[in-house]
Structure 1
Amino acid sequence: MKKKVALMATARKKSKETAPVIEFYQSPLFKKSVQYALENYDTLYFYNAKDGLLLPDTVMAPYDVSIRTFSNQQRRKWGEKVVKAFCQYEKPDQIQLYLHGGNIYRKYLEPVLHERGFTFEIPLKGLGIGQQLKWYDKKLKGLKE
C-alpha cells in the first residue's frame, strides 16, 4: 500500500514570533487543514512563496512575501524549485499524493509534478474558502464520531 502524502499550502496570516511551520501560520483554514492532514496522511509537506518546500518542523521567522507579486516566470521557477526539493524526499511510484491549497499555487505545481511522474488528488478542488472550512469541519467531525 502506498504512503499517503500531503503537499499543503501555508497561509497569509502568520505569527509575529518564530515557530515551527504548523504553529507559525495562523489562519483558521490552515489550522483545520493541518488538523485534517495529521489524521489522514502519513507525511506532510508544506510550501510557501518565500522558501518553497517546507517540512513540518521547519522553524519560520516572520516575513512578507507573496506569490501574487511574482511574475509568471518567477512562479514557474518557484514551482520547479518546490517539486525538485519534494523529489529529494518522495518518489512518484511510492506515494499517493494529495494537494491542498489554492489554484494560484497549484497552477505552477501541477505541471511540474506531472512531468516528474506524480499522480495526485485535489480533495478541495473548486471550493471557495468558506466551502473549504465547511469541508474540513465535516471531515473532522466524522473522525470524532
Structure 2
Amino acid sequence: MKIALISCGKNKLSNSAAAKDLYIGDLFKKARKYSEKHYDQYFILSALHELLDPETKIDPYDYTLNDLSKEQIISWSNNVHKQIIEIIDDSKEVEISIYAGDKYRKFLVPLLEQHGIKVNIPLKGLEIGKQLAWFKKNIGE
C-alpha cells in the first residue's frame, strides 16, 4: 500500500470545507493532484488537526508547527504516528512518501521507520519553486 502525506497550507478558504478543498495554495493543490494520481491513499498533515482525511470537513484556522515548541512538535508527531498505525493494514506492506517540510518530518519519520514502514522524502532539500516545478512536470502541467 502506497500512502502520501502532504502538508497543509497557509492559504485557505474563508469558510468550512473538506480538508482537500480548504487549502488553496498552489503547492498544496499540486501535491494533492499528484497524490491522488500516484498513491492508494493520501492524508493531510495539519498542525491543528494532526492527520486529516481529505474528506473531513474543517473550519479555516491560523496555526502552524512554527507556533509549537520542540516538545509540542514531538507530541504532535507521536499523535500522527498513532493515527497512521490505526489506519494501516498490518497485513500489507506499507510505503509512505512525505511531501512536507522538515518540521513535519523530523520526529515523525523515525517513528514510522521504527514501526517497519518504508518512508520516502521525494522533495527533500528542494526549495518551494523547485518543488512546484517538480509537481508540474510530474502531473503533466
Category of TM-score, reference length = shorter chain: over 0.9
Tell me which residue corresponds to 2:135.
136
CA deviations 1:85-110 (Å, max 9, x no partner) are 11111146522211111111111211
Tell me which residue corresponds to 1:90.
88
User: Sequence identity of aligned pairs in percent?
Assistant: 33
Give the whole-Å Cα distance in 1 for the aligned partners of 2:35 and 2:17.
19
Moved over 6 A (4+): none
Q: Is the deviation greater in 62-71 or in 31-40?
A: 62-71
Q: Write out aligned runs for 1:17-32 (5 A).
A: 17-32=15-30
Give the whole-Å Cα distance in 1 for the aligned partners of 2:107 and 2:23.
22
Q: CA deviation at 1:41?
A: 0.5
The code of the aligned residue for 2:26 comes to P
Give the whole-Å Cα distance in 2 for the aligned partners of 1:108 and 1:29.
23
- List gaps (5 residues or longer) in structure 1: none
The code of the aligned residue for 1:32 comes to K
- List gaps (5 residues or longer) in structure 2: none
- Normalized against structure 2, the TM-score is what? 0.94
Q: Give SS of 2:87's match.
A: coil
The code of the aligned residue for 2:13 comes to S
The number of residue pairs the alignment matches comes to 140
Tell me which residue corresponds to 2:104.
105
Q: Is the deviation greater in 115-124 or in 9-18?
A: 115-124
Q: Write out aligned runs for 1:29-68 (5 A).
A: 29-68=27-66
CA deviations 1:53-101 (Å, max 9, x no partner) are 1001011101111110111000000000001011111146522211111
Q: Is the deviation greater in 3-12 or in 93-102?
A: 93-102
Give the whole-Å Cα distance in 2 for the aligned partners of 1:37 and 1:89.
17
The code of the aligned residue for 1:115 comes to Q
Q: Is the deviation greater in 23-32 or in 103-112?
A: 103-112
Give the whole-Å Cα distance in 2 for the aligned partners of 1:4 and 1:116.
16
Tell me which residue corresponds to 1:117.
116
The code of the aligned residue for 2:42 comes to L
Tell me which residue corresponds to 1:5.
3
Residue 69 of structure 1 is aligned with which of 35, 49, 67?
Answer: 67
Q: Say whether 1:16 aligns with 2:30.
A: no
